[in-house]
Amino acid sequence: MALLINERCINCDMCEPECPNDAISMGPKIYQIAPERCTECVGHYDQPTCVAVCPIDCVKPDPKRQESEAQLYEKFVELHFDI
């Protein structure tokens, strides 16, 4: 499933540069994750880098975006390879 950044975000700027899919950007008040670009780092790393670097644990699974690891991998392929 895609991830989301909840309202506890303190805009520390740690997550955005770590995202290999360019899925994280500044929203109106806090950082946000574009679900169509979030693969939970499948295809890149063993765990989501935004979760690993967040100092306050505000990056959580998005309950509205249930995706299997196979679906996340397919999204990774679509984002990074001309097929």
* Per-residue model confidence (pLDDT) at position 82: 77
Contact present, 27 and 61 (Cβ < 8 Å): no
At 13-62, the pLDDT tens digits run: 999 999 999 999 999 999 999 999 999 999 999 999 999 999 999 999 99
Give the CATH number of the domain where residue 19 resides: 3.30.70.20
Widest CA span of the chain, in angstroms?
38
Domain tally for the chain? 1
Mark 55-77 as b/e (b = at least 16 C-beta within 10 Å). Answer: eeebbeebeeeebeeeebeebbe
* Per-residue model confidence (pLDDT) at position 63: 92
How many Cβ atoms from other residues are within 10 Å of residue 41's Cβ? Answer: 22
* Per-residue model confidence (pLDDT) at position 83: 63
| Domain enclosing residue 62, as ranges | 3-80
